[in-house]
Amino acid sequence: MSEILTSSATKVIAFQLKDKEYAFPVQQVQSIEKLMHITRVPGTSPFIKGVINLRGVVTPIVDLRSRFQLPEEYNEQARIIITVSGDTEIGLIVDGANDVLDIPGSVIELQPEGVGGAEEDYIVGVAKLEKRLIILLDLEKVL
């Protein structure tokens, strides 16, 4: 993750979760899917929603709201971000994903104190972009 902080500009996929904006580097995102039927897998952690059929590949799905201990609720805008970590693909349910942003390294601040919430452990840094505050997440830790 450190290269994100040092490189001049990082391309990220930004998404919403409740009232905040988060982002993953574009390299870690394979695709963005609409919500589809999720098959529950019994006996797994509560934030694992189950598996979907992603073009013939059985892909596990993590609910980020539940991961960050936010109340679970989805609307039409909800999306599944398919991330790639090593050779495993995992989908993350978010409230909406519609932005690809270039974030200059200069505007990224390393994990400030007091962001609060359960997501604090997963944060790499925070980027201030005009009036927006975008939280950069560490995929490995989220999973």
User: What's the angle, vertex CA 117, arms to CA 112 and CA 120, rounded to 5?
Assistant: 45
- Per-residue buried b or exposed e for 57-71, using 16+ beta carbons within 10 Å of the residue's own CB: eebbbbbbbbbbebe
Question: What are the distances in angstroms from CA 52 to CA 39, 46, 49, 56, 59?
Answer: 6, 16, 9, 9, 5
Closest separation between CB of residue 63 and another protein, Å? 14
Going residue by residue from 23 to 42, which x/- string records binding to another protein, judged by CB under 8 A? Answer: --------------x-xxxx
Smallest gap from residue 84 Cβ to another protein (A): 12
Q: Between 57 and 86, how does the x/- string for binding to another protein read (CB under 8 A)? A: xxxx--------------------------
* Count of residues that bind another protein according to CB under 8 A: 20
Query: Could you tell me the smallest distance in angstroms from the CB atom of residue 59 to another protein?
Result: 8
